[in-house]
Amino acid sequence: MDLFVNLYQGFQISLTPINLLYCFTGVLLGTLIGVLPGIGPSAAIALLLPTTFRVSPVSAIIMLAGIYYGAMYGGSTTSILVNIPGEAASVVTCLDGYQMARKGRAGPALGIAAFGSFIAGTLSVVGLMVLAVPLSNVALKFGFPEYFAIMCLGLSIVSYLSQGSVFKSLLMAALGVSLSFVGMDVVVGKPRFDFGLLVLGDGVGLIPLLMGLFGISEVFLNVEEKTQAREIFQTKIKGLLPTLRDWKDSAGAILRGSGLGFFLGILPGGGALVSSFVSYAVEKKISKHPEKFGTGVIEGVAGPESANNAGAGGAFIPLFVLGIPSNVAMALLLGALMIHGLQPGPLLMQQHPEIFWGTIASMYIGNAMLLVLNLPLIGLWVKVLKVPYKILFPMILLFCMIGAYSENNNPADMLVMLFFGALGYLLRKYGYDLAPLILGFVLGRQMEQAFRQSLILSDGSFAVFFARPISSVAMALAIFLMVSALIPAFKKKRERIEAEKG
Amino acid sequence: MGWKGTAIREENSSEQIFINNSTTGGKIMKGQNFSKLVKLMVMGIIAAVTILTAEGSWAGDEKYPARPIQVVIGYNPGTTDACIRIFTDYFPKYIGQPITFVYKPGAAGTVGASFVAKSKPDGYTLLGCSTGPVILGPVTKEGLDFTLESFAPISRYVNAPMVLAVKSSSSIKTLKDLVEAAKSSPGKLTYATSGTLGSPHFGMEMFSREAKIKLIQVPCQGDSASVTALLGGHVDMGASSLGPYKPHVDSGAFRLLATWQKNRMKFLPEIPTFTEAGYPVVFPLWFGLVAPKAVPKEIVETIYQTTKKVLVENRAAIEDKYKLMGLELDLIGPEEFDKENKAHRDSTQTTFKEIKKNL
Q: What ipTM describes this predicted complex?
A: 0.83
Does the pLDDT at position B200 exceed 90?
yes
CA distance A315 to A489: 37
d(Cα A476, Cα A128) in Å, to the nearest integer? 30
Closest among B320, B316, B329, B344 to B137, alpha carbons compared: B344
Average pLDDT per block of 10 residues along chain A, 502 residues long: 83 92 93 79 81 86 92 85 82 89 87 91 89 80 87 81 77 93 84 84 86 88 66 58 87 92 78 83 86 88 92 86 82 84 81 89 92 85 78 86 83 93 93 88 88 92 89 89 76 71 60
The answer to whether the Cβ–Cβ distance between A196 and B8 falls below 8 Å is: no
Beta-bridged to residue B165, according to DSSP, are B238, B256
pLDDT of A338: 81
Q: Which 317-336 residues of chain A touch chain B by CB within 8 A?
A: 322-325, 328, 331-332, 334-336
CB-CB neighbours of B254 under 10 Å: 23
Query: Phi/psi zone of residue B190: left (φ > 0), alpha (ψ -120 to 50 degrees), beta?
Result: beta
Cα–Cα distance measured from residue A149 to residue A470, given in angstroms and rounded to the nearest whole number: 8
A260 three-state secondary structure: helix
Q: Say yes or no to pLDDT of B59 above 60.
A: no
Cβ atoms of residues B88 and B99 within 8 Å: yes
B218 — phi, psi (to 5°)?
-115, 100
Q: Which residues of A touch B324 (CB under 8 A)?
A: 338, 341-343
Interface touch B22/A187, C-beta < 8 Å: no
Alpha-carbon distance A295 to nearest alpha carbon in chain B (angstroms) = 29
Predicted pLDDT at B190: 95
Name the strands in the sheet holding B125-130, side by side, starting at the edge strand that comes first in the sequence.
B99-103, B69-73, B125-130, B286-292, B151-159, B328-332
Helix (H) or strand (E) holding A321, with range, is helix A316-322
Spatial contact of A436 and A112, defined as CB atoms under 8 Å apart: no
Evaluate if residue B57 carries a pLDDT over 70.
Answer: no
Residue B224: the pLDDT is 82
Neighbours of A135 (CB within 10 A): 19
Enclosing H/E stretch for A192: strand A190-192
Instruction: Check B220 against A453: CB less than 8 A apart.
Output: yes
Q: State mean pLDDT over B79-88.
A: 87
Give the residue among A319, A317, A245, A307 at the shortest CA–CA distance from A282: A307
Cα B184 from chain centre:
38
Among A32, A187, A339, the residue to mutate for chain B (most B Cβ within 10 A) = A339
* Chain B residues within an 8 Å CB radius of A48: 11, 15
B151 φ, ψ (degrees, to nearest 5)? -120, 145
For B194, half-sphere exposure in the C-beta direction (CA atoms, 13 angstrom radius) is 20
Q: With helix as H, strand as E and coil as C, how does chain B read?
A: CCCCCHHHHHHHHHHHHHHHHHHHHHHHHCCCCHHHHHHHHHHHHHHHHHHHHHHHHCCCCCCCCCCCEEEEECCCCCHHHHHHHHHHCCHHHHHCCCEEEEECCCHHHHHHHHHHHCCCCCCCEEEEEEHHHHHHHHHHCCCCCCCHHHEEEEEEEEECCEEEEEECCCCCCCHHHHHHHHHHCCCCCEEEECCCCCHHHHHHHHHHHHHCCCCEEEECCCHHHHHHHHHCCCCCEEEEEHHHHHHHHHCCCEEEEEECCCCCCCCCCCCCECCCCCCCCCCCCEEEEEEECCCCHHHHHHHHHHHHHHHHHCHHHHHHHHHHCCCEEEEECHHHHHHHHHHHHHHHHHHHHHHHHHC
Question: Closest partner residue to A201 among B77, B107, B250, by Cβ?
Answer: B107
Q: Is the CB of residue B241 less than 8 Å away from at least one CB of chain A? A: no
Nearest CA in chain B to A268: B225
Q: Which residues in chain A are closer than 8 Å to B45, comparing Cβ atoms? A: 398
Q: What is the mean pLDDT of chain B?
A: 84
Q: Is the pLDDT of residue B4 over 50?
A: no
Question: B297 vs chain A: nearest CA distance in angstroms?
Answer: 30
CA distance A99 to A36: 20
Query: A53: which chain B residues are within 8 Å (Cβ-Cβ)?
Result: 85
CA B210 to CA A159: how far, in whole Å? 52
> Are A183 and A194 spatial neighbours (Cβ–Cβ below 8 Å)?
yes
Average pLDDT value for residue range B115-128:
92
Which pLDDT score, from 0 to 100, does residue B165 have? 96
Chain A residues close to B198, C-beta within 8 Å? 189
Which DSSP category does A388 fall into? -
* CA distances from residue B150 to A255, B87, B135, B147, B291 in whole angstroms, order as listed: 58, 25, 11, 5, 9
How far is residue B217's CA from residue B196's CA, in Å, rounded to a whole number?
Answer: 8
Q: Which residue of A has its CA nearest to B10?
A: A47
Q: Which residue of B has its CA nearest to A458?
A: B188
A49 contacts B247? CB cut-off 8 A: no
Is the CB of residue B105 less than 8 Å away from at least one CB of chain A?
yes
Distance between CA atoms of A197 and A440, rounded to whole angstroms?
23
DSSP A340: T
Mean pLDDT highest for which of A286-295, B85-94, B275-284? B275-284
pLDDT, position B127? 95
Tell whether the model's pLDDT for residue B40 goes beyond 70.
no
Flag if A186 and B12 touch (Cβ within 8 Å): no
Answer for the pair B332, B286: CB distance below 8 angstroms, yes or no. no
Q: Are B204 and B239 in contact (CB under 8 A)?
A: yes
Instruction: Give the integer Cα–Cα distance in Å for B276 and B333.
Output: 27
**Backbone region of residue A183 per phi and psi (left: phi > 0; alpha: psi in -120 to 50; beta: other values):** left
Q: For residues A277 and A157, is the Cβ–Cβ distance under 8 A? A: yes
Name the residue among A85, A339, A119, A336 with its Cα closest to residue A214: A85
pLDDT at residue B344 greater than cutoff 70: yes
Question: What do you get for the CA distance between the two ends of chain B, in Å?
Answer: 53
- List Cβ neighbours of A237 (8 Å cut-off, separation of 6 or more): A104, A106, A107, A382, A385
* Contacts with A179 (C-beta within 8 Å, 6 or more apart), sequence order: A204, A209, A437, A440, A441, A444
User: B345 — contact with chain A (CB < 8 Å)?
Assistant: no
pLDDT band at B54 (very low <50, low <70, confident <90, very high): very low
Q: B11 pLDDT exceeds 60?
A: no
DSSP A229: P
* pLDDT above 50 (res B6): no
The shortest CB-CB distance from A141 to any of B15, B107, B232 is to: B232
**SS3 category, A185:** strand
A486 or B291, greater pLDDT: B291
Strands B216-219, B190-193: pairing is parallel
The burial class, CB within 10 Å (0-12 / 13-18 / 19+), for A142 is buried
In this prediction, residue A238 carries a pLDDT of 65
Average pLDDT rounded to a whole number, residues B233-258: 93
Q: Reduce the DSSP state of residue A217 to 3 states and report it.
A: helix
Q: With an 8 Å Cβ cutoff, are A338 and B228 in contact?
A: no
d(CA B286, CA B156): 7
Q: Do A69 and A312 touch, CB atoms closer than 8 A? A: yes
State residue A237's pLDDT score: 63
Any chain B CB within 8 A of the CB of A76?
A: no
DSSP conformation class of A190: E
* B2 contact A CB<8A: no
What is the per-residue pLDDT for A20?
95
B19 pLDDT above the threshold of 70: no
Pairing relation of β-strands B125-130 and B286-292?
antiparallel
Distances (CA, A) of B290 to A453, A487, B83, B155, B158: 36, 62, 15, 7, 14
Separation of alpha carbons A91 and A270, rounded Å: 13
Residue A203's SS3 state is coil
B/e letters for A168-188, b = 16+ CB within 10 Å, e = fewer, are bbbbbbbbbbebbebbbbbbe
Decide if A323 and B247 are in contact by the 8 Å CB cutoff.
Answer: yes
Peptide bond into A436 cis (omega under 30): no
Provide the number of CB pairs (under 8 Å) joining chain A to chain B. 175
The secondary element (H helix, E strand) that includes residue A191 is strand A190-192
Q: Do A232 and A101 contact (CB within 8 A), yes or no?
A: yes
**What was the pLDDT predicted at B32?**
53
| pLDDT surpasses 60 at B7 | no
Closest among B259, B215, B253, B256 to B232, alpha carbons compared? B253
Straight-line distance from the first to the last Cα atom of chain A, in angstroms, rounded to the nearest whole number: 75
Whether pTM > 0.90 for this model: the answer is no
CB B152 within 8 A of CB B304: no
A133 touching B (Cβ < 8 Å) = no
Q: Are A444 and B142 contacting, i.e. CB atoms less than 8 angstroms apart? A: no
Checking DSSP bridges between strand B328-332 and strand B151-159, what pairing results, if any? antiparallel
